[in-house]
Amino acid sequence: MKKFRFKKIDAFATPKSGGNPAGYIRLNASTDISPAEMQQIARELKGFVNEVGYVIQTSDNGFDLKFYSSEREVDFCGHATIAIMYDLAGNDAELQKFELFKINTNRGELMVENRITGEDSMFIMSPEPVEVHVVPGIQEVADKLKINSGSINADLPISIINAGLTTLIVPIKTLNAILGISPDFNALNDFCLKSGIDIVEVFSRDVADRSNQYRTRVFATTFGYMEDPATGSGNSAFGYYLIKNNMWKDGTITIEQNGLKDRFNLVRLMKKPDKNGNIRVYFGGGAVTRIVGEYWL
């Protein structure tokens, strides 16, 4: 039997909310585990964590990351990245000296800003955005979400943007309308698979706490579960949506996420140019470690 260092960490948690659970295994080398074994562990943990991240340190401040849901490998998982990098930097005095980390993922090399000391957060650069220009209509989206089409804000576009995951972004008029969404799992999953969509993110300017700018919910049926309670990649796609539609002028914005009115998770977004001068969205937050131990395979 093999054994691995294992942690269960809830990313984007607040004193009022539980965050988004991620499993996390630290490896010494890529030969320690096979893709089939990574998938097996993620499958065994279905219902306990939403994704499992695997990390190998490649340099003083560099890491390789892989992600798996119970269903398949995930090109990029934002909440697992927050959990892993927050834990690594928070528990290693040598790593705490670095203000920047580099991570390699299936979506390329990304930068990580260490803000644990000042803000109790890590900020992760999202992958470069890719927009899909063929999108479903309002009525079809409403049908798949099991809502009245009048709940969708027709003054704003429905869009599909990939900033780690291919995300269908749907504007909703009110907070109550967002909180009331309850799709059928199989119908929504079939729609997403046929449309090449990884996740569906609904949003509204109507929020529970006026210090936040937006409320979002994310449905992730293609990964084997209905709702992602706090997401980095989905909200990064949403950040690019806001930039394109002139809905994000300056500064850091805060997003409240999940289907609970007052016990929401918090995801922060900032934007800054990369080395090529392209504006990139960073998502940020902290994490809470719940379980530390060994995983026997």
Give the three-class secondary structure for 242. Answer: helix
Q: Where in the chain are all domains bearing CATH 3.10.310.10?
A: 3-125+284-296, 130-282
Using CA atoms, how far apart are residues 294 and 281, in angstroms rounded to an integer?
Answer: 35
Using CA atoms, how far apart are residues 220 and 242, in angstroms rounded to an integer?
Answer: 21
Mean predicted confidence (pLDDT) in 181-192:
98
What does the pLDDT look like over 187-233, one tens digit per residue? 999 999 999 999 999 999 999 999 999 999 999 999 999 999 999 99
Instruction: State residue 200's pLDDT score.
Output: 98
Structure tokens at 266: 């918090």
Q: Do residues 165 and 76 make contact, with C-beta atoms less than 8 angstroms apart? A: yes
Instruction: State residue 177's pLDDT score.
Output: 98
Amino acid (one-letter) located at 271: K
Q: Per-residue b/e over 201-218, b at no fewer than 16 CB within 10 Å?
A: bbbbeebeeeebbbbbbb
Instruction: State residue 56's pLDDT score.
Output: 98
> pTM of the full predicted structure?
0.94
In this predicted structure, the answer to whether residue 157 has a pLDDT above a threshold of 90 is yes
Instruction: State residue 187's pLDDT score.
Output: 97
What percent of the chain has pLDDT above 90?
Answer: 97
- How is domain 130-282 classified at the architecture level of CATH? Roll (3.10)
In this predicted structure, the answer to whether residue 97 has a pLDDT above a threshold of 90 is yes
Residue 186: pLDDT band (50, 70, 90) is very high
Sign, CA dihedral 74-192-164-87, equals negative
Instruction: State residue 250's pLDDT score.
Output: 85
CATH class of the domain defined by 3-125+284-296: alpha beta
Instruction: State residue 210's pLDDT score.
Output: 96
What does the pLDDT look like over 62-88, one tens digit per residue? 999 999 999 999 999 999 999 999 999
What does the pLDDT look like over 223-265, one tens digit per residue? 999 999 999 999 999 999 999 999 998 899 999 999 999 999 9
Mean pLDDT over each residue of the chain, to the nearest integer: 96
What does the pLDDT look like over 13-54, one tens digit per residue? 998 999 999 999 999 999 999 999 999 999 999 999 999 999
207 φ/ψ angles, rounded to the nearest 5 degrees: -125, 160
